[in-house]
Every structure is written in C-alpha cells, then in structure tokens.
Structure 1
Amino acid sequence: MTKHLRPRRSAAVTRRTFLTMTGSSALGSYLLLQNQAWAENPAVPRAGNFTELNATAEGGIDLYLEHRELLINGRVGRAIAINGSIPGPVIRMTEGRQALIRVHNRLPESTSIHWHGILLPYNMDGVPGISFAGIPAGETFTYHYPVRQNGTYWYHSHSGLQEQLGHYGQLIIEPAQADPVAYDVEHTVVLSDWTFENPHDVLRNLKTIEGYYNFQRPTLANIDDQMRATGMTLREVLKKRLAWQRMRMDPTDLADVTGATYTFLMNGKAARENPVFIAQPGQRVRLRIVNASAQSFYDVRIPGLPMTVVQADGQNTRPVVTDEFRIAVAETYDVIVTLPDAQAYTLFAESMDRSGYARGTLAPREGMSAAVPQQRPRPMLTMADMGMMMNGHGSDSNDMAAMEHPKSDKRHNTQSLPSSSDGELPTDNLVDSIKHGPDEHGPASITMAENAYRRLDYPGAGLGEDNWRVLTYSQLRALERPPLRRPPTREFSLHLTGNMHKFIWGFDGKKWSEADAIRFEYGERLRINMINDTMMNHPIHLHGMWMDLYAGGNLATNPRKHTVNVQPAELITVDITADAPGRWAFHCHLLYHMDAGMFRTVAVVRSLEGDSIETDT
C-alpha cells in the first residue's frame, strides 16, 4: 500500500451567482458587491483546507473551535471552524490504543464533539444534557478513551444547530491487524450541505410555512412535465393530484430543506470548485465517504466506473459491486474503484430531491475534469410510500385502486408485532409487513401508513430505473460474524411519527420533552422494530451500541450499523446488545427533525424493574 494521499484542492475560486428569495433587488445587488469584495480579499481563507491529525500518537491532539469567515463557493460565510476550516481535520487513530483529544472552545457559547459510531464510556460520548454538561465558552475539555474498533467514522457537534455551520469532520481508525481491504491510495470524501441563512431561521421557516423550501410542488404550470415524465394521461395526473390533496400531502416532499437555500459541498468545496482526488491508472483507490449533512441525502456514482462497496458504517462487508448508492445522513460507505486509464472521472453526489449536487474529479493529475452528468428529474413519492401498496415498492401501477380499496396480499406474511416478548426470538425469515394498529400516537402524528413493509430491496425514490446497479440494504452482509452475536429475547415496536404541517417529529407521537427514557437492561439482547408512519426518510442513530440490521440474511451475516435509514412506510428490525452502561442518545440524524423532537434518551440499567435511572447509571 502506498502512503496516504490527501485530496488535492483546486487552485481556482469561482463565484456563484447571488440569488435571494426575499428582499429587494437593490439589497441583493449591494450584498453581491460586498461578497465579491470579500472574495477578492486573500485574507479570507477558503473552506476545505483541512489537515490531518493522529489522536493516538504520543501527546494526543488539540482541536480549536471558533467562528471564522470562510469563502464557500466564492461567498463569505460565517462558519464554526475546527482548526481553521470546514470540514475539520481528518482525525486518525489506531485500534487498541488510547485516544487523547483536547477540545478548546473559543466560541461565545457552549459546544461539544460527539464521536459518531465510536464505542466508548458514556461520559466521553459528547452529548450535552445526556452524557456531560457540554464545553462552556472559553474552556477546554479533554476526551480520552480506548479505541476498540476500526473503520471509517466521523465526528460532529451535538449542541444546538452547530453542525449546520460546519462543525464536523472525518475519523479514520486503522485496524490493529491486517486490513482485509486491499488498496493503493485512499481519499477522504466528506459530503455536507451549507446555508448562508442562520440555521435558526431555517428551522423557524420550516415551522411557519409547510414546504417553505420546496419549489417543485405540483402546479398547473408543470402538469405537462408530469405527464411526460410518468406517461400518464391528463385525467390520470389530475386524479392522482386530487388523491394526494385529500390526504393533505405532497408527493414531492422528499426533503425539508433543498437547493433553494443549500449549497452542496464535497470536502468543503462546491461543485464549481471541483476538488480533485489523485490516482494513477491501475491503482486501487479507497474512497472513504461520509455524509456529514444536516439534512441532505446523496445518490453517489462515478459514471463509467463501477464501485465495490467494502465497508458500511465502519464495518467490513462482503464486497458488493455497484454503480450507485444512496447515502443517508450520518452513514459512511467505503468503496474501491480502479482507475482504468489516464482519463478523468466525475465523482457525482446528486441530492435525493435533485435540487443540486456536489462533485469532484478522480484523475491522475491536477487540472483535469470530466463531464458532469445531467441531473435527473425530481422523483415523486408513490402510494407505496404511504403504505398503500402491499409490495412495498415504488411502482405507481394500480396506486389509486390500492388506495381506494386496500386489501390483504396473501404473498406476504402480515401480522401485528408484539409490544414485548419473552424467550429466544427468530433471527431469519421475519414477517414482511404489518398492518397499522388502532393507536394514532397522539396529535404529533397525522400520517399513518396503513401497512408497513420491509423495503430492503427498494433503493429509494428516483433510483433503480436507469439500467444500472444500485446498492440496497438487502445486499449488505457482514464480512465475518460479529463476536457474541446471539438471538434477542425481548422486543418492542417503536413508531417514527411526525406532523409535517407543524414540523413536529417524535417517536410514538411524542417529542423528547414529553417522553420517558427507553430502558435497556444491561447485558440483554434486545430487538426494536422501527415502523415509519411518515412519508419521509429517517436515518436513526443509536449512540454507544451497535444495531445489527435484519437485512434478509441470518444471525451470522446480517450487517452491523450505527445509523439505519428507515424509508417511508418501512418496517426495519434491529437487534442490540445492551453492553454499554450509562445514558445514551437515540435519534433521527436529520438535524432539524432531531431538534423538533425526534430524540429519545436510552438508559442502560441494571434491572428494568429496579431503581431510578440515575441510580442505575
């Protein structure tokens, strides 16, 4: 293996045309002139100039958090920089050693760093109000913990909405033993989203006006576009739109925050800035891809080059050759590509709602670029995303009939899931779908899928129709059986709920402020059936413990993940070993969903019937 090569950075800065959604054109012109003046000032550093540090080297490392003005896509943004840049430095560690990280808070407010996907003592997890008090302004906090794993991970703030301002970076842990993945050169790829708006204004807009950032809603002006895209007649299009209106829902509601305000970034660079990743023909290139976005899902591909997925969420997987994959917020994927010749290839990360993209170039030298693919039409949600189709897929055939006359499908094993169970539970051939029960989960839940399905083979809205291979969860298999994995003996169901109109999100119809902690008994093997009652994707993250995802395999082969994306109307099952005493966060990793209530505290206690949570932890 050759030495590690960092991503090369483009020497040119391009300027993005300034667009303002509100305000006068005179004000917009004034601000544009100001931004151009700043852009020409060499004293303003560009985003994306991050370094690399080794946290398990002797003496550890220092991270400095401060507000910093940075050039982002040619405009000046006020970011939270870590050691002077966004993303923050790549932090390397070695499995089996001790990490030592001193975080110096130069912000005028409290902050934190959460080590996403890392197994550590709960008081090192970095979640204010759950595992520690936070890092006050002007103070230093020292993280120190044993490194018990390897792979690609990341880190970010867990304080307020700081993550949206650039408070994140990649974390790479080298294995103590030989790496099963063979490669010649590797590159960090951090995907994110940036807004020049104040994140609190973004949240207020979402709470004030439903679909505030959705500029692609069905209108009279785009009926022809929908007819051409779907092949439906005018009557069919109108019938479908009326059906969605009766449900007070919008089939274009894939993303709460879109390219209307977002600039999509790759390693802190906008698409026009084109970060270049150097590799020579014949070399095996390992791309360590992290989605550090606040809200954005990406569909990732390299036109003309197949990718071999070798790791998901830091865990080695059996190699899967694919042409495209969707990466949810907070997930990581490692892929291997081989440069066949001395040409340039575009690394293309298209936002799920098609409102923009990030991109870079894989090439043998600086200054090269390849054609940027044409963006695909924005996908539309279907009745399947509302639980109205028993096959659980995205086809719209007979959608209206399924909605108006729902019926049981004998092809599927459909049943109600128990709220709890005793005894050893099955680990393969689990039920494919369930009917929603009578509980409406309170006023914070206004959408209820009639059925929830396992959609493990479904790549997601807008994917799978281009005649190329698309990765799905059903293809993920652990490279080796994880140690101590055993069948669970207790299970419960957890509904993912929301009120789109008021932008309230939660579990079982309750916000974090209204809910009790979820209690895990120390040492138990537990199953959670997550049921998405909403029409949006939710990447669910559990701190401190692994989630073994039922992906259609068995006890030995199902993959292990720290973040599991639950698609609309989907039933997802995860098994957990409660081997980490303490209090942990469990939440949707869409930043604004989490802040709006989709968050729970998990308490790993000595006994479910024992003392208080505080005594047990």
Structure 2
Amino acid sequence: MSFTRRQVLGGLASLAVVGVGAGGARWWLGRPVIAAEHDYELIAAPLDIELIPGHVTPALTYNGRFPGQEIRVRQGEWLRVRFTNHLGQPTTIHWHGIRLPIAMDGVPFISQAPVLPGESFVYQFKTPDAGSYWYHPHVASSEQLGRGLEGPLIVEEREPTGFAHEMTLCLKNWHVDKDGAFTAFSIPREAARVGTLGRLTTVNGQHAPVIELAAGAIVRLRILNVDNTATYRLNLPGVEARIYALDGHPVEPRPFEEEYLLGPGMRIDLAYKVPPAGTTVSLRNGPLRLATLGSVDQGTHTTEWPRPLPANPVSEPDLATAETLAFRFEWVATLAGDPGNCGKAMYWQINGQAGGEHKEGVEHPPLAKLTLGKSYIFEFRNMAQYLHPVHLHGLTFKVLSSDRHRIIPYFTDTYLLGKNETARVALVADNPGKWMLHCHVIDHMETGLMGTIEVS
C-alpha cells in the first residue's frame, strides 16, 4: 500500500538506533543464553497511510508498514524481538497463539508492566509449534488494533513441507469514513450486540487488491483475521483448494468447501491450486470480493498435493480423568459504568464476572484455578445470539464437540462460539501462569468478556 511518510518522534529514522526512556532498562533482558538466529527490531509509531485514494489516515504501525513486518522463525528455535514504543501512550505486544512463558505474553499488569513511550522491551522465547500466528497490543486494544498495530508471525516447520510457494494474507476491516478519518472503534449500542464494525475491508492494507500467483502452482495461503470485530465467511468459488491447518495447527487435509467462518484472531492455511494463466478467481467474504487472485505463467510446477503437515507437540488431554469446568458467556442488561474499567459500561460477563482490560491496582479473581499437568474439559456455552471467538492465551486446547454442527477434533487457541452454542474443548494445563480467556471481538472483551485461568 502507499504511504505518506510522517514518522513522529523520529522513531523510524533508523531501525538500528532506538532510545530507551527513563526506567526502560528495568525491562531490558539482554541476549539469551542461546543466541537467536532470528533477531528483529520492532518499532511502534504513528504513520500517515493512504487507505482511501487521495486521503490520509493517521494510523499506528509497526516498522512503518501495514501489516507490520512479517516475523519468521523456525519451529523450536529462539525468537528475540527488541520492541520500542514511539507512540504517545503505553503499549505491549501479545504473541497470539504462541505457547510461551507468562513473562513474554504481553498482558499489562499480568505478565509485564506496559512499555511506556520511549521505552524498549525485549521479548524472547522458543517457538514450540509451527504454523500461522500474529502479534498485536493488549493495551487500549480497540484503538491500537483499530489504528493498525498488527503483524504476522510465521513459525516455519523444521523440515520442508512440499509447498514451494506461499503467501500471507491479513484481513482487516477499518473504522474510517469516506475521507479516511477514523470513526469510533467502539460504539456502546454495537458493543452490546455484534460488535462495532468498520466500513473498509482490506487485504494486506489494500482494498480489493489483485494478487498474482504462479499458474499451475499449489500455493500455501496463510489467511489471518486481524480485525477488531468482523467474522469473514471465506469462500473461493470454482477452484481446487484444501485445508491444511486451522489456527496454526495441522489438520488432515480436506477439501475447502462452500465457506469457512473465520472469526477475529483466527487463521486458516489453505493449499490453493492456481488455475491456468490468465484466469482470475475471487477470494470472497460471502458474496463480497476481498481480493482477486490472478494467475501468471512462471514455468511448470508440481501438481501433486503436499503431504499432511507434521503435528505440533501439543499434549493430548486424558479425557477419562479430565475434570469438566463450565464457562457461560452471558449478556448483561445494564448500561452502568464500571470505574475499574475506565468508566466503560459492562454488557458482558463470564460466569457472572465482568472483566475489561487490566488496569494497575485492579484485581479480578480467576475464573478457574487449574492444577499443573492435569487434564480439563471446558464447556463453553454462549447465552446470546452473537458470535464470540473465544481465545485462550498460553495454552492450546482440542475442540471435541458442538451441539450446533459436526466437529472433526482439532487443536487451536481460538474457537468461534456461535449463537446459543455449547461446545466442549479439552486441554492439559501444562504451562504455569495466569492466562487470559476472552472474546476476540475487541469491544466485547473491553466490556466484560475477559477473565483469567490460573495454572499452578
């Protein structure tokens, strides 16, 4: 996408030179004992971008681009990212879907203090699972994500997968008007219902782009929903495509049928057989075109589908001994403000608890306390008619069943809980910490649908 370069505070003048404000050194961790092969600098800063032709939108970006720089690391290796905040407000980075130590999870006042303007923080962790993931803030989330602070994190498999070509596609629905100015990221009436939707949909920052792919190739399409609110009804009519992974984790390859609902925070990896040169195909959200996939002649390519992706090393829950815990996602008929949530009204709760984004000095009791190493079954019940993409930090769960549709069990970190649906998922509590459990419709999260699961 095109940019008008306006780097506030000179933050992007040089990615190698960053300032650490007063107190920043207390969060500097130094280089890990095992030298990282994948080192990245990430800088969050304001930047004018052109979403609407001829108009400027005052966005927030990582490294001067949207989506933020694609970070790549090989499975099982160390990832070290030195992050510097050149925004005018505190922020953090949460590594969505990654099983990592609690100190690296990026939740303010749970895993770390917020990174203040001018400060730096080093995130370093091993990446146990291959797949498609992403990163974003967990401070002032509706605004910071709404303004563009998102980027892909790709963990490559240890061995070649058979895919010679791949492309990452980040889907986002921007809250802008016809002149490119931001509109409200959260409207109370909408937050209490489906969530506040934007009006301009983009793929990798462009509205309805044309994406050229090699004719005859089988391309791995990594599709990430980095939106605040929108659930996409993905479809690719009239093509050959197969699902290879959901939310980072491999599944037995199966045909990509009429459509797949991809909620906020969710990802899907498709193997797409590119048709002959000169052919165009629409990647669509229901009947609406998201992007045009073109095909150009770039020589001959293998036409054999790649073998299934290797499974990630996720612990298999013991269903025979698992304890069952119920989680009710409820709508609350109130407009009362909550001083602990900066005066925002609370419309939602989990098991009778309404918890917004964490603030200094505000304590919320955990929704559940789990014993380290024990297996659990979570029963998610949606008490409303609106979709809730339920996301769990730090742990991976296995989807077992639903009372609304057939489930082929699979591992994930985010499950799209439908209207009045009850779903059962299972996990092993094998990562100690206080982990967030929340809806990834951001203004649902900020108005009550957030709590913690404590593993010790």
CA distance in 2: counterparts of 1:592 and 1:256, whole angstroms: 6
Q: Are the structure 2 counterparts of residues 257 and 306 from structure 1 closer, same or farther at C-alpha, using a change threshold of 3 Å? A: farther
Q: Are the structure 2 counterparts of residues 542 and 480 from structure 1 closer, same or farther at C-alpha, using a change threshold of 3 Å? A: closer
Aligned residues: 391
Q: Are the structure 2 counterparts of residues 479 and 317 from structure 1 closer, same or farther at C-alpha, using a change threshold of 3 Å? A: farther
Q: Who is 1:417 aligned against?
A: none
Residue identity opposite 2:271 in structure 1: I
CA distance in 2: counterparts of 1:174 and 1:202, whole angstroms: 34
Match of 1:545 among 371, 374, 395: 395
**Aligned partner of residue 123 in structure 1, secondary structure:** helix
Can you list the C-alpha shifts for 1:517-575, whole angstroms capped at 9, x where unaligned?
A: 121111111111011000001000010001111047xxxx7210100011011011111
- TM score, norm. by length of structure 2: 0.79
Q: Does 1:510 align with 2:353?
A: yes
Q: Does 1:334 align with 2:269?
A: yes
8 Å CA contact retained: 1:540, 1:564 = yes
Match of 1:349 among 266, 280, 284: 284
Q: Who is 1:587 aligned against?
A: 438
Q: Who is 1:522 aligned against?
A: 372
User: How far 1:280 sits from its partner (Å)?
Assistant: 2.2
Can you list the C-alpha shifts for 1:30-49, whole angstroms capped at 9, x where unaligned?
A: xxxxxxxxx9xx6579xxxx
CA distance in 2: counterparts of 1:496 and 1:132, whole angstroms: 27
User: How far 1:363 sits from its partner (Å)?
Assistant: 2.3
Q: Does 1:578 align with 2:410?
A: no
User: How far 1:149 sits from its partner (Å)?
Assistant: 1.4
Q: Does 1:494 align with 2:327?
A: yes
Q: Percent identity?
A: 25
User: Higher helix fraction: Structure 1 or Structure 2?
Assistant: 1
Alignment map for 1:73-88 (pairs within 5 Å) = 73-74=52-53, 75-88=55-68
Q: Does 1:146 align with 2:126?
A: yes
Match of 1:194 among 174, 184, 194: 174
User: How far 1:332 sits from its partner (Å)?
Assistant: 0.6
Q: Who is 1:568 aligned against?
A: 419
Alignment map for 1:216-615 (pairs within 5 Å) = 255-258=194-197, 261-271=198-208, 274-276=209-211, 278-323=212-257, 324-350=259-285, 358-364=290-296, 482-487=314-319, 488-499=321-332, 502=335, 504-512=347-355, 516-517=365-366, 518-551=368-401, 558-605=409-456
8 Å CA contact retained: 1:318, 1:478 = no
Q: Are the structure 2 counterparts of residues 482 and 84 from structure 1 closer, same or farther at C-alpha, using a change threshold of 3 Å? A: closer
**Aligned partner of residue 60 in structure 1, secondary structure:** strand
Can you list the C-alpha shifts for 1:80-139, whole angstroms capped at 9, x where unaligned?
A: 111001110111001121111000100111111110010111000111121111211100
Can you list the C-alpha shifts for 1:419-472, whole angstroms capped at 9, x where unaligned?
A: xxxxxxxxxxxxxxxxxxxxxxxxxxxxxxxxxxxxxxxxxxxxxxxxxxxxxx
CA distance in 1: counterparts of 2:6 and 2:282, whole angstroms: 28
8 Å CA contact retained: 1:318, 1:479 = no
CA distance in 2: counterparts of 1:497 and 1:522, whole angstroms: 28
Can you list the C-alpha shifts for 1:342-377, whole angstroms capped at 9, x where unaligned?
A: 1333342326xx7x65324232179xxxxxxxxxxx
Alignment map for 1:25-174 (pairs within 5 Å) = 58=37, 60-74=39-53, 75-160=55-140, 161=142, 162-174=144-156
8 Å CA contact retained: 1:163, 1:294 = yes
Q: CA RMSD in A?
A: 2.9
- TM score, norm. by length of structure 1: 0.59
Can you list the C-alpha shifts for 1:215-260, whole angstroms capped at 9, x where unaligned?
A: xxxxxxxxxxxxxxxxxxxxxxxxxxxxxxxxxx9xxx7x4333xx
8 Å CA contact retained: 2:73, 2:155 = yes
8 Å CA contact retained: 1:130, 1:583 = yes
Q: Who is 2:27 aligned against?
A: none
Q: Are the structure 2 counterparts of residues 592 and 336 from structure 1 closer, same or farther at C-alpha, using a change threshold of 3 Å? A: same
CA distance in 1: counterparts of 2:412 and 2:370, whole angstroms: 18
Deviates further, 108-117 or 297-306: 297-306
Q: Are the structure 2 counterparts of residues 484 and 573 from structure 1 closer, same or farther at C-alpha, using a change threshold of 3 Å? A: closer
Q: Are the structure 2 counterparts of residues 186 and 178 from structure 1 closer, same or farther at C-alpha, using a change threshold of 3 Å? A: closer
Residue identity opposite 2:423 in structure 1: I
Can you list the C-alpha shifts for 1:184-203, whole angstroms capped at 9, x where unaligned?
A: 21001100111127879442
Q: Are the structure 2 counterparts of residues 108 and 316 from structure 1 closer, same or farther at C-alpha, using a change threshold of 3 Å? A: same
CA distance in 2: counterparts of 1:537 and 1:177, whole angstroms: 37
CA distance in 1: counterparts of 2:312 and 2:48, whole angstroms: 46
CA distance in 2: counterparts of 1:562 and 1:202, whole angstroms: 25
CA distance in 2: counterparts of 1:126 and 1:148, whole angstroms: 18
Can you list the C-alpha shifts for 1:158-181, whole angstroms capped at 9, x where unaligned?
A: 1112111111111111112343xx
Q: Who is 1:469 aligned against?
A: none
Q: Are the structure 2 counterparts of residues 100 and 121 from structure 1 closer, same or farther at C-alpha, using a change threshold of 3 Å? A: same
User: Higher strand fraction: Structure 1 or Structure 2?
Assistant: 2
Structure 2 unmatched runs, 5+: 8-31, 299-308, 336-345, 357-362, 403-407
CA distance in 2: counterparts of 1:540 and 1:211, whole angstroms: 19
CA distance in 2: counterparts of 1:200 and 1:576, whole angstroms: 40
**Aligned partner of residue 85 in structure 1, secondary structure:** coil
CA distance in 2: counterparts of 1:169 and 1:43, whole angstroms: 19
**Aligned partner of residue 528 in structure 1, secondary structure:** strand
Q: Are the structure 2 counterparts of residues 136 and 275 from structure 1 closer, same or farther at C-alpha, using a change threshold of 3 Å? A: farther
User: How far 1:270 sits from its partner (Å)?
Assistant: 1.1
Of structures 1 and 2, the one scoring higher in RCO (CA 8 A, sep 6+) is 2
Q: Are the structure 2 counterparts of residues 310 and 84 from structure 1 closer, same or farther at C-alpha, using a change threshold of 3 Å? A: same
CA distance in 1: counterparts of 2:148 and 2:281, whole angstroms: 24
Q: Are the structure 2 counterparts of residues 333 and 134 from structure 1 closer, same or farther at C-alpha, using a change threshold of 3 Å? A: same
Q: Are the structure 2 counterparts of residues 44 and 270 from structure 1 closer, same or farther at C-alpha, using a change threshold of 3 Å? A: farther
**Aligned partner of residue 107 in structure 2, secondary structure:** coil
8 Å CA contact retained: 1:496, 1:508 = yes
CA distance in 2: counterparts of 1:131 and 1:88, whole angstroms: 23
